[in-house]
Amino acid sequence: MSPITFASGVARRRSLSDEEREERRSARRAERDIGREEDANDAREERRAARRAERESERADNADDPDGETDGKRKKGGKKKGNRAGKKGKADDARVVEVAPMGAPARMRRRHWGVLLSFVMIVLVPTALVGAYLWTTARDQYASTAGFTVRQEEGGAATELLTGFAAQLSSGSAGSDAGILYEYIQSQAMVMAIEAEVGLTEHYSQYWADDPVFSIWPDPTIEELLWFWSRIVRVSYDQTSGQVELRVLAFDPDKAVEIGQAILRESQSLVNDLNATAREDASRFARQDLDEALARLKEAREALTLFRTRTQIVDPETDLAGRMAVVNTLQAQLAQALVDLDILRDRTSASDPRVEQSERQIAVIRERIAAERAAVAAGQDDIDGDDYPTLLAEYEGLVVDREFAEESYRAALSALDISRTNASRQTRYLATYISPTRPQSPEYPRRGVLLALSAMFLILGWSILVLIYYSVRDSR
* More confident site: 357 or 124: 124
User: Among residues 169, 175, 227, which one has the least CA distance to residue 201?
Assistant: 227
Q: How would you label 293-321 residue by residue, b for 16+ Cβ within 10 Å and e otherwise? A: beebbeebeeebeebeeebebeebeebbe
Q: Would you state the pLDDT for residue 98?
A: 57
Q: Could you give the angle at which helices 222-232 and 188-197 cross, rounded to 10 degrees? A: 90
Q: Would you state the pLDDT for residue 173?
A: 52
CB 364 within 8 A of CB 375: no
* More confident site: 93 or 325: 325
- Note the pLDDT tens digit of each residue in 381-427: 444 556 667 777 888 888 888 888 888 888 888 887 777 776 666 66
Peptide bond just before 66 cis, omega within 30 deg: no
- Note the pLDDT tens digit of each residue in 209-240: 889 999 999 989 999 999 999 999 999 998 88
Of the CA atoms within 13 Å of residue 38, those in its CB half-sphere come to 9
Is the pLDDT score of 63 beyond 90? no
Average pLDDT of the chain to the nearest whole number: 77
Residues 450-465, mean pLDDT to the nearest whole number? 94
- Note the pLDDT tens digit of each residue in 286-307: 888 888 888 888 888 888 888 8
pTM for this model (two decimals): 0.55
